[in-house]
Chains A and B, each alone.
Chain A
């Protein structure tokens, strides 16, 4: 009913507008082309300059309204650098934005048609054109310089003391595998994947390095300690999006990628900064991966080394779950470490591809 009413109103409004438009066409014909043109020019020139003024005010208003909804300060060394670079870019492009839009709309207003003036025949001026080729070129050089400096830092080799975590995406969940005490991730092969046998990642149990690797559905990181993520996908392209750290990297099946950064603010500290007691860092999927894409979100915990050590000591290697599932089922499978139990999500539930029951 409401819909019907809305359509009716819209139609009515349209009929009114149309009648006015039609009438003004007749009036224009009666008044003569010239005077109706002059009138239209006056109105639109005025609207142009108003658009500029209101638009600039709108930009300011939008900024005031939304600035509190932006992200809190970057929680990684790399993120701080990116924010810094973003500010420089904002200033440069902001100046150009204001200069060009203001000139465009003021010219529009200033040079509206008039009987009294004649347009100036001004087809070219090499000096001007040279100037506005060279100045943007210089500005771009500066931006490229800054950008590449950061780019090469961001994509450099991870420091030797970086902790390593393997991230694996699949429709529509994330797994995080830690290398355990030996500091080495065991071999894996996608053909060995068997969620039913507690081997969701396809770890090769014949590799001893696998025996202490443990798997989590939450990404635990240590504050001020560089972390190197080794990123995989089991099915389609996903993306490890880390908005709080200002980074992201695709997860591509068959081609592992890496990303390293140094988190600088613990979850607890960030809760204080944002005033939100329940604050949690998020890892979100940033590459369309199917119907559950929008729900492919994981939590990240940034904590102190002591807290992290405590967490590690409580983890059971995936190896033990897998071996247990070969034997008659043991009672204890409810540990936090078993992704099979903690990763239940609305999207995964309906997905045959998930394979995790």
Chain B
């Protein structure tokens, strides 16, 4: 307990700035008289509003990114058809209703960039870290509400810049979300590498700033602002996941930033960091001695941690929800934290598994094989622990639970193929084929989305005081879940046949071997359209329910143990009207001693105190160590 005493007493003191204190006594932030609409909903410093801003901006980007995938899937599924309406929308990029190859590449590039960075990084972490860290730890707001607001507005600015690049005469950037030079460095190499790339870099640099501000805030809030009794080992696994996600971001985004700086230098100042021996557009360039591979190292030093930045929040949310809705404690809490930590550390040591075919030193490659496959171990531990968590549970199949279980299933399916790709010898055949597309969409794209959906369905009542429509939720889950497998499972076969990714079409004459997948591609595209429409239905459900959904009448609708459900149904600025509750136990006392759930705020019973003296329980281990 001495531990808590040193870390937490400030917990309340720091945040109770006069304004908040006043607010807290008023009991309801909505009665706030000196707040105008602008300071309350637009330039708000309230973490809950900022969370909603991230969520809604993320949703807008998700719709755009998914819409792009539908367009390029039409090209892949129906390469011989024309779609006159495309010309209406895209103008000269789809003359006669056929997509231009350059625009195809622009669409895939934007699709990847937007979904990975804007939706599954900013949209996901931005929403749930902001919303849950103060609420689940018992804090009145973030460590720095102002920086928090700035982080959103930098993200917004990045969004505006990226969005405006869509309207350039020469089109947005077209060189893939990884933006490898020299393709991305030389304006002569592609139309999109001209103005489009300028804006892409400006947007991404702004985005990095936003992520750093956000990350530092999450970390300092988690370390400093836990309520009394909330020792680190009593934190919900969601918070542990957000914690490691934030550290990953803070350590790796600056490296991405530096790679961009060098790229900007090469593009504008005539330096040769990434350029050497190039003959393009009929000219030999003067640049010598640079290395395109250097960029790839810098990029993937962020790029690989980035996939875990995308994954970890989903893992945390799934852990939390599987326990809550199976009415069971999470199995192996410490192992769950330990495996998050192992993944966090290892994720910095595997980046070059994206570069096995760049001609890297085979000896070096061997280390990356070893470390990459090593990451499978903590991942496997997590999967087994999730499965054990639902074993002998009493599972309530509410939509958030379905999405959490879907998350686990998709994570398994996509994770196992990572073992193929991480083994360099197999990667020689599979790299840059549809096998990779199938792998990362399942393991990262779709499953992270499932984590996000699970979180939205679960915390929507807390965010908006109303429920999402359940029936639409079930339809959403089953179509998306089935659709995800239908879309991505067959792509493994295309990849095994060596079918290359980022191909605008598979010419019947020169690539007959891949042209024979035409029928399959058509099916995939049709399913993708259905899945896309289903997401629109979800978006409708979301906005409809904000205003017209069934009202929440129960303060703790899911019978959950965590602190956010001790706040009023409509949470005001400052979160708790009175004192912040104190915490006495870990958050997973479900079905303990025959009691369905025991919130963290319930003091230990005399029997439990006695038990504590004997049994090695996650919290007690912690307390003994101290």
| Interface residues in chain A, defined as those with a beta carbon under 8 Å from any beta carbon in chain B | 3, 10, 14, 17-18, 20-22, 24-25, 28-29, 37, 40-41, 43-45, 47-48, 51, 55, 58-59, 62, 66-67, 69-71, 79, 81-82, 85-86, 89, 92-93, 96-97, 100-101, 103-105, 107-108, 111-114, 117-125, 128-129, 132-133, 136-137, 140, 143-144, 146-148, 150-152, 154-155, 170-171, 190-191, 193, 202, 231, 234-237, 239, 241, 243-244, 246-250, 252-255, 257-258, 282, 284-295, 297, 352-353, 355
Please name 9 further chain A to chain B contacts, defined as beta carbons within 8 Å, in addition to the given A191-B284, A236-B280, A253-B278, sorted by A numbering: A89-B426, A133-B381, A154-B428, A237-B182, A241-B432, A243-B497, A258-B359, A291-B102, A297-B510
| B416, CB-defined interface residue at 8 Å | yes
Q: A129 touches which one: B188, B335, B503, B506 (CB < 8 A)?
A: B335
Q: Quote the shortest CB–CB distance from B535 to chain A (angstroms).
A: 12
Q: A250: which of B176, B357, B433 is its contact (CB, 8 Å)?
A: B357
- Note all chain B residues with C-beta closer than 8 A to A147: 369, 373, 423-426
Contacts of A10 in B (CB 8 A): 533
Chain A residues within 8 Å of B278, by CB: 190, 234-235, 253-254
Tell me whether B396 and A254 are in contact (CB under 8 A).
Answer: no
Known contacts A101-B412, A124-B333, A353-B280: does B388 contact A254 (CB below 8 Å)?
A: no
- Which one, B393, B425, B503, contacts A293 given CB within 8 A? B503
Q: Which of A17, A37, A93 contacts B396 (CB 8 A)?
A: A37
Residue contact B105 to A155, C-beta cutoff 8 Å: no
Instruction: Give 13 A-B contacts (CB < 8 Å), ordered by A residue.
Output: A37-B396, A119-B327, A129-B332, A136-B381, A148-B369, A151-B366, A151-B369, A235-B189, A237-B182, A252-B293, A286-B500, A293-B502, A352-B281
Q: Which of B354-391 contact A (CB under 8 A)?
A: 357-359, 362, 365-366, 369-370, 373-374, 376-377, 380-381, 383-385, 387-388, 390-391
Asked if residues A17 and B618 are in contact (CB atoms below 8 Å), the reply is: no
Cα A17 to Cα B538 with chains together (Å)? 12
By a CB distance below 8 angstroms, the chain B residues around A22 are 469
Which residues of B pack against A, CB within 8 Å? 85, 101-102, 105, 174-176, 180-183, 186, 188-191, 275-282, 284, 288-293, 326-335, 357-359, 362, 365-366, 369-370, 373-374, 376-377, 380-381, 383-385, 387-388, 390-398, 402, 405, 408-409, 412-413, 416-417, 419-420, 423-426, 428-429, 431-433, 469-472, 474-475, 478, 481-482, 485, 489-490, 493, 496-498, 500, 502-507, 510-511, 513, 516-517, 520, 533, 537, 540, 550, 588, 590-594, 617-618
| Residue contact A100 to B183, C-beta cutoff 8 Å | no
* Bound complex: CA A113 to CA B590 (Å): 14
Q: Is the CB of B284 within 8 A of A89?
A: no
- Whether A133 pairs with B517 at a CB distance below 8 angstroms is no
Q: Select B276's contact among A86, A97, A117, A254, beta carbons within 8 Å.
A: A254
Contact (Cβ within 8 A) A255 B432: no
- CB-nearest residue of chain B to A258: B359
> Could you tell me the distance in whole angstroms from the C-beta of A113 to the nearest C-beta in chain B?
5
Q: Tell me if B189 and A124 are in contact (CB < 8 A).
A: no
Task: Please state if B408 and A104 are interface contacts (CB–CB under 8 Å).
Answer: yes
Question: A252 contacts which of B282, B358, B409, B537 (Cβ < 8 Å)?
Answer: B358
A255-B276 contact, Cβ under 8 Å, with A140-B376, A193-B284, A353-B281: yes
> Which chain A residues border B293 with CB–CB below 8 Å?
252, 255
Of the residues B289, B423, B431, contact of A143 by C-beta under 8 Å: B423
Knowing A85-B426, A294-B101 are in contact, say whether A93-B419 is a contact too (CB < 8 A). Answer: yes
Assess whether A129 is in contact with B381, with CB atoms less than 8 Å apart.
yes
> A293 — which chain B residues lie within 8 A by C-beta?
105, 502-504
Distance (Å) between the CB of A268 and the closest chain B CB? Answer: 18
B475-A235 in contact (CB<8A): no
Write out the residue numbers on chain B whose beta carbons fall within 8 Å of the beta carbon of A243. Answer: 429, 497-498, 513
User: Are A44 and B402 also in contact (CB < 8 A) when A62-B490, A69-B497, A104-B409 are?
Assistant: yes
Closest beta carbon of chain B to A157's beta carbon, Å: 11
Query: Closest residue of chain A to B366, judged by CB?
Result: A148
Of B383, B505, B592, most A-chain CB atoms within 10 Å = B383
- CB neighbours of A121 from chain B (8 A): 328-329, 590-593
CA of A132 to CA of B379, assembled, Å:
11
Given A119-B392, A247-B429, verify A288-B416 contact (CB < 8 Å). no
Supposing A82-B426, A118-B594, A129-B332 touch, asked if A107 and B390 sit within 8 A by C-beta, the answer is yes
Indicate which residue in A58, A124, A144, A202 contacts B485 across the interface (CB closer than 8 Å). A58
- Residues on A with C-beta less than 8 A from B289 are 254
Q: Are A107 and B391 in contact (CB-based, < 8 A)?
A: yes
CB nearest to A152 among chain B residues: B362
List the 4 shortest-distance A-B pairs measured between CB atoms, nearest first: A243-B498, A254-B276, A257-B359, A44-B397
Once the chains bind, are A25 and B381 in contact (CB under 8 Å)? Answer: no
User: Closest B-chain residue to A249, C-beta based?
Assistant: B357
Residue of A nearest to B385 (CB): A129
Q: Given A288-B183, A291-B174, check contact A144 B377 (CB 8 Å).
A: no
Query: A241: nearest residue on chain B (CB-CB)?
Result: B500
CB atoms of B496 and A71 under 8 A apart = yes
Q: Which residue of A lies closest to B281 (CB)?
A: A353
- The distance in angstroms between the C-alpha atoms of A334 and B516, with both chains bound, is 34
Check A291 against B412 for contact (C-beta < 8 Å): no
B620 to chain A minimum Cβ distance, whole angstroms, is 11
* In contact, B182 and A235 (Cβ under 8 angstroms): yes
- Complex Cα spacing A287 to B329, Å: 47
**Are A70 and B423 in contact (CB-based, < 8 A)?**
no
Contact, CB under 8 Å: A45 / B186:
no
CB-CB nearest in chain B for A290: B190
- B515 CB to nearest A CB, Å: 10
A248 (CB) vs chain B CBs: closest residue: B357
Which residues on B sit within 8 Å (CB–CB) of A40? 397-398, 470, 474
- For A114, list chain B residues within 8 Å (CB): 394
Interchain nearest-CB distance for B487 vs A (Å): 12
Contact in complex: B392, A111 (CB < 8 Å): yes
Shortest Cβ distance from A298 into B: residue: B510
**A140 and B377 in contact (CB under 8 A), knowing A96-B416, A254-B291, A290-B183?**
yes
Q: Which of A55, A133, A170, A252 contacts B279 (CB 8 A)?
A: A170
Instruction: Return chain B residues, CB-CB under 8 Å to A248.
Output: 357, 428-429, 431-432
Nearest B residue (CB) for A156: B362
Q: A47-B478, A151-B424, A152-B362 are in contact. Are A132 and B381 (CB under 8 A)?
A: yes
> How far does the Cβ of A199 sit from chain B's closest Cβ, in whole Å?
11
Contact, CB under 8 Å: B426 / A86: yes
Instruction: Indicate if the CB atoms of B328 and A119 lie closer than 8 Å.
Output: yes
For the complex, give the distance between the alpha carbons of A97 and B380 in Å.
11
Min distance, Cβ A137 to any Cβ of chain B, angstroms: 5
Contact indicator A108/B390 (Cβ below 8 Å): yes
**A237-B393 in contact (CB<8A):** no
A89 vs B102: C-alpha distance when bound (angstroms): 37
Q: Considering the chains assembled together, what is the distance between the CA atoms of A144 and B398 in angstroms?
A: 41
By a CB distance below 8 angstroms, the chain A residues around B490 are 62, 66
- Give the complex CA separation of A194 and B86 in angstroms: 41
**CB neighbours of A48 from chain B (8 A):** 397, 405
Please measure, in the bound complex, the distance between the C-alpha atom of A288 and the C-alpha atom of B173, giving whole angstroms.
Answer: 13
Selected from A24, A67, A154, A353, the residue in CB contact (under 8 A) with B282 is A353
- Cα–Cα, bound, A59→B470 (Å): 30
Specify which chain A residues have a CB less than 8 angstroms from the CB of B398 in the assembled complex: 40
Bound state CA distance, A271 and B156, in angstroms? 57
> Taking the nearest CB of chain A, how far is it from the CB of B281, in angstroms?
5
Q: Which B residues are in CB contact (< 8 Å) with A51? A: 481-482
Q: Which of B335, B408, B419, B425 contacts A82 (CB 8 A)?
A: B425
How far does the alpha carbon of A79 sit from the alpha carbon of B105 in the complex, in Å? 31
A244 to B424 alpha-carbon distance, docked (Å): 18
Please measure, in the bound complex, the distance between the C-alpha atom of A247 and the C-alpha atom of B181, giving whole angstroms: 23
Given contacts A255-B293, A282-B513, A288-B502, contact A108 B357 (CB under 8 A): no
Chain A residue nearest in CB terms to B503: A294
Report A239 CB to chain B, min CB distance, Å: 7
B186 touches A14 (CB 8 A): no
Q: Knowing A202-B279, A254-B291, say if A62 contacts B493 (CB, 8 Å).
A: yes
Task: Give Cα A253–Cα B182 distance, bound, in whole angstroms.
Answer: 8
